[in-house]
Amino acid sequence: MYRNAMIKLLAWSDSPHRKPLIVNGARQVGKTWLVLTFGANRYDSVAHVVFLENEDMKRAFAGSLDADRLLTIIGAATGTNPRDGRTLVFLDEIQECPRAITALKMFCEQRPDVPVVAAGSLLGVALNREREKDGDGTSGRSITSICIRSRSTSSCAKSATLHLQTRFPRVTPISSASSPSV
């Protein structure tokens, strides 16, 4: 699965129509490791933001979701330059900050040149919660998703992908269902 996931990440990174990527999957299947390894091999640096118990970063996303404002804050917090196009912005445990999920739309619209990856467990639950709160989906915004599974999981988290497709009507899922497990 490692090789197949990396191939899919490289294809996403090289796409001229790249959108923010969501890596979803069950807990402890290697989402963070995969993205960090990919980032270290493909980019000059990784601006890794972990929302789990990071109240400062949650507060940053509670304000304006202007992409340049958020990139400035992320750069200051991680010691990177996320505006340079050579830094991967990695929003980890994004389900802990619903406004960060919403901010993916802004990155797509305002800074499509910046590679952004989000990862988390139970993303389907978090995305559905946001959809219920908003009530209107995302007005056709686009993202891409990839589902990571463990050896013991027979299929990807279909409910998370379905929630993504509902919330982001033009979502482009990258299926790993035919990929061998790790």
Tokens 């963070």 correspond to what residue? Answer: 32
* Buried-exposed string 135-167: b where 16+ CB fall within 10 A, e elsewhere: eeebeebbbbbbbbbeeeeeebbeebbebbeeb
Confidence of residue 29 (pLDDT cuts 50, 70, 90): confident
Token pair, residue 136, equals 């209107």
Instruction: Give residue-wise pLDDT tens across range 74-113.
Output: 999 999 999 999 999 999 999 999 999 999 999 999 999 9
Q: What single-letter DSSP state applies at residue 38?
A: H
Instruction: Give residue-wise pLDDT tens across range 33-81.
Output: 999 999 999 999 999 999 998 999 999 999 999 999 999 999 999 999 9
pTM of the predicted structure, to 2 decimals: 0.74
> What local confidence, expressed as pLDDT, does residue 130 receive?
53
Calculate ∠ Cα 141-143-146, nearest 5°: 155
Rounded CA separation 102/116 (Å)? 13
Could you tell me if 124 and 171 are in contact, meaning their C-beta atoms sit under 8 angstroms apart?
Answer: no
> What local confidence, expressed as pLDDT, does residue 70 receive?
98
Q: Pairing mode, if any, of strands 21-25 and 144-148?
A: parallel
